[in-house]
Chain A
């Protein structure tokens, strides 16, 4: 059974698509028919005499069939008789984690590759016109005898197909399903048939609620029209979307059926037991719309040819079908590889089908196989269909986007979406066939059906590594169009599609600024703020609202997360975007409050916050006012300057004594600083970007670090603290102190044991920045040293965690920072058994950067003369603390390590530059006109995380640690 179900769902999806299209096409024909029908109706209503209807079109006939029963029962009867339209909207849940793939390149850790895989929304409206024939579908034999007519045979065949081929859904089951779908999906797919129906027929009563109001429908007729379009005859292969209906065909069909009418009714009722709801369980099938469609189309042939009916049911089916297939092939499908493939796959199905038309159980199984095969390709269904049918090829589908009839447009777009799903080739073809501008144009279409599906197609097209597709969307002003639609629509599904598309687009660097320019404030106002629960002017009476982790919010925050990594200008724009920071913070606080911190939306928010926190001390307006005066003093002063320390480390013990005194002084100063830590007075609560660096955020990040299980969130929260604690301005002093006071250091140290490489790295770098604060340095030296050291590889052997080179380097740099200016900490290092590991790394590591970083730590340790005694006792001598021969030559000589050496990867040099003393000196020299060089050096450490990123792509990404900017200030050199 399950197979069937699966199949059926898949097949429904597939068939619905095409049916919709055809349906639309038929609407015209319907108009003509409508007149006939109305006439018929009048006749039919009075006396339910089946015979009357012969001349009428098929639909009319059906009505008459139903007519025998009383009005109230009509609904029931109808449904069983014809399997009415089943509208199945299968939407892959866009919100499922799988659908959204965020590929985070580990280096940047940012969102570079975060894409929303769009779920393919396959909406299939399957309209089945199944006549209930006396035969019970699953082998209920009774009905057969009742109607001996030629039409009877016909109906059997149909039923057969329906039960076996389709999915064994008995008519009633189908009808029930229909209701369910109508209810739940009214707007999307049901809408089409219904609305059209109304449009064309003007039957309002009862039609609006097809499902519920069946009983009230005065006539079955009302129901028919929508289905009508699917009638086989009307479809001509040649004109796939303007379908002329052949009245003749209908006439033929109708006639045979008429007689059956009354008997059928009873049968239908008896069948309810067969009801099988499963088929609708929204299958996993994402790809195939195709298989489902078969039914409706298969029926068609029967109707079209009167002669067939005369044949015995079994034979007829076969003869009838096969020719069709052949025709199909002849038609040129062979050219199409897919089709060819499909044909092969089809065979089993065909055989099974023909061999035992009546044996439903077997049939069913065969059918299911068939469906499986069909699922691979949407087009398979076409084979089984009326031979004259074929799937439109891509240019045709794209042409349909411009069709004057709206439903054709929307169906074409939906079909495109389906085709593009996980198929880069088709995406590319769509682009090259200029389909993207057309889709973008449809975004402004007033009908929700149209712009929804256009948007769905764009979402799938925009997903993937092929950035050309994204550029194509941008080049036809797709981004402003999406934003316009976002402003305009209240349909949640459409909003999800829009924001999903934007998320996809935002993964491509050159589009980030475009998105910011067109959509930042709109996304903030339309999505971020309302869903975050934040209110501009909170009502004091009502309690603050919590954030809603909707898909729309997730998509939008993902998009903003991506664009927030686009450099200083992007950061500025986001920071200054009205309400954005406030709303993000509110959302995060709400997440912490509800202990719901592992979801993607939270991750996105934290990542945005981290990125926006990068370089706040230099980039926010008025930052100069908060610059730490001590940091501006000359390097020789006692201020906590980077360069000073570096000198000490760099030249070994030379200045150790001096440093020692400096330390003392610094301690004093710092203590004073922190004890009298007065936050700047403010008359009103901070808002906007100021919130980024208020000490209050420390508690938020620490909560996240404590509670979240999401590595990306952990990493981002640690990165945010790292960013905030970098730099030399008043606020970073507060942040560093606040982390300590909020007992954040143990939390961070704990995370050094994390299994996640990225988390360890971010935490290590954060600790390094935090140790700018003297007290923090002492505490970290005392309590974190063992955890830091345990992350180091011992010799050739990596620790269990097997951390990446970047991480090892980050840890070494942090250790270096901690032991610099602190012989106590150096002693802790020695006691943590680190020397052995450091020496091993220094001597044997395959990584030049690791070697270098370890070497610097060793040099610093050796510089503490008071430790040498102990070191010597442990068997170490001076040679162990000198740079390994290969790594050193230039560095030791003049403090300008081989910068000229072009054979080294560029980024490595940069990295080293940031992490090593020598480099730093050099850096300062080169930055002669950049007075702030010293101040900024700490942050560059973060570049460690970006190193690979640079090497690989040379793209600027602020990823993880918003380390995007290697150097804080633009350097400008006279030459």
Chain B
């Protein structure tokens, strides 16, 4: 998913809903994120396009809420509860995910396998 400023992003997305798990005072989702516009996209091992500064799932706690919801390492998070995650700082993304008053987060994510599945079914999928 390369992203060209000023152009609409076309992506195959999947909705994933994660029920947060309460641990003491904290609500946890059970995964970690990397990326953000303030990060070096070149170091993101998951992105295909090394200029992609999106937010990516980097680790998943085994048995945690994210794994249960079928989130996977390497997924790119496009939205969190409707908030765009493609042009945010790392910390903004983190905050959106960790709002204390929200017990559920709904993610829109995209992953390569999704795109390919769609591509195959459609024959061709426009890509950047």
Contact = CB atoms under 8 A, between A and B. Distances in A.
A959 to B, nearest CB: 13
A974 B40 CA distance: 18
A879 interface: no
Contacts of A509: 51
B43 interface: yes
A954 B43 contact: no
B87 A899 contact: no
Contacts of B94: 926, 973, 975
B53 A956 contact: yes
A548 to B, nearest CB: 33
B116 interface: no
B32 A972 contact: yes
Interface in A885-914: 899-900, 902, 906-907, 909-910, 913
Range of interface residues on A (Cβ < 8 Å): 35 or more
B39 interface: yes
A974 B32 contact: yes
Task: Give the residue among A513, A567, A969 with the most B Cβ atoms within 10 A.
Answer: A567
Contact of B49 (A510, A909, A926): A510
Contact of A954 (B39, B44, B87): B87
A620 to B, nearest CB: 15
A567 B5 contact: no
B33 A566 contact: no
B10 interface: no
A570 interface: yes
Given A566-B42, A902-B92, A954-B87, A971 B29 contact: no
B36 A971 contact: yes
Nearest to A902: B92
Contacts of B98: 975
A957 B34 CA distance: 19
A515 to B, nearest CB: 13
A568 B40 contact: yes
A567 B40 contact: yes
Nearest to A567: B42
B33 to A, nearest CB: 6
A471 B7 CA distance: 15
A910 B38 contact: yes
B5 A953 contact: yes
Contacts of B89: 906, 909-910
A714 B89 CA distance: 32
B42 A955 contact: no
B114 interface: no
Interface in B1-58: 2-5, 28-29, 31-44, 49-51, 53, 58
A900 B91 CA distance: 9
Interface stretch (A601-609, A813-821, A960-968): A960-968
A876 interface: no
Contacts of A952: 5
Given A899-B91, A953-B5, A975 B53 contact: no
Task: Give the residue among B2, B31, B36, B40 with the most A Cβ atoms within 10 A.
Answer: B40
A896 to B, nearest CB: 11
A906 B88 contact: yes
Contacts of A674: none
B101 interface: no
B78 interface: no
A970 B43 contact: yes
A954 B42 contact: no
Contacts of B50: 513, 566-567, 569-570
A49 interface: no
Interface string A442-482: 00000000000000000000000001000100000000000
A908 to B, nearest CB: 11
A510 B2 contact: yes
A955 B90 CA distance: 15
Interface in A763-803: none
Given A467-B4, A569-B42, A950 B37 contact: yes
Contact of B38 (A570, A953, A967, A972): A967
Contacts of A900: 95
A971 B34 contact: yes
A737 B89 CA distance: 36
Contacts, number: 107
Contacts of A510: 2, 49, 51, 128
A909 B59 CA distance: 27
A964 B5 contact: no
Contacts of B31: 974-975
Contacts of A967: 38-40, 90
Interface residues of B, number: 37
Contact of B40 (A471, A906, A926, A968): A968
A878 B41 CA distance: 44
Contact of A973 (B38, B43, B90): B90
A653 to B, nearest CB: 30
Contacts of B90: 926, 967, 971, 973
B97 interface: yes
Contact of B51 (A566, A568, A902, A973): A566
Interface in A86-138: none
Given A567-B41, A956-B40, A966-B38, A975 B32 contact: yes
B7 to A, nearest CB: 10
A569 B35 CA distance: 15
Nearest to A467: B4
A968 B38 CA distance: 10
A972 B34 CA distance: 5
Task: Give the residue among B2, B31, B37, B49 with the most A Cβ atoms within 10 A.
Answer: B37
Nearest to B96: A975
Task: Give the residue among B32, B36, B42 with the most A Cβ atoms within 10 A.
Answer: B42
Contacts of A972: 32-34, 58-59
Contacts of B32: 972-975
Nearest to A940: B38
B37 A906 contact: yes
Interface string A500-511: 000000000110
Contacts of B49: 510
Contacts of B3: 954
Contacts of A965: 39-40, 42-43
Interface in B49-93: 49-51, 53, 58-59, 87-92
A369 B91 CA distance: 66
Contacts of A950: 37
Given A965-B40, A967-B38, A974-B32, A954 B59 contact: no
Contact of A906 (B33, B44, B87, B97): B87
A327 to B, nearest CB: 45
Given A973-B90, A975-B33, A954 B40 contact: no
B29 A956 contact: no
Contacts of A975: 28-29, 31-33, 94, 97-98
A520 to B, nearest CB: 15
Contacts of B29: 975
B118 to A, nearest CB: 20
Contacts of B128: 471, 510
A567 B38 CA distance: 13
Nearest to A899: B91
A954 B37 contact: yes
Nearest to B6: A953
A973 B35 CA distance: 10
Nearest to A570: B42
A570 B43 CA distance: 10
Nearest to B59: A972
23 contacts: A509-B51, A513-B50, A567-B43, A567-B51, A568-B40, A568-B42, A900-B95, A906-B38, A906-B88, A906-B89, A909-B89, A926-B91, A953-B5, A954-B53, A955-B5, A955-B51, A970-B34, A970-B43, A971-B36, A971-B39, A973-B33, A973-B91, A974-B28
Smallest CB-CB A-B distances: 7 pairs: A567-B42, A965-B40, A975-B97, A568-B42, A966-B38, A970-B43, A953-B5
Interface of A: 467, 471, 509-510, 513, 566-571, 899-900, 902, 906-907, 909-910, 913, 926, 950, 952-956, 964-975
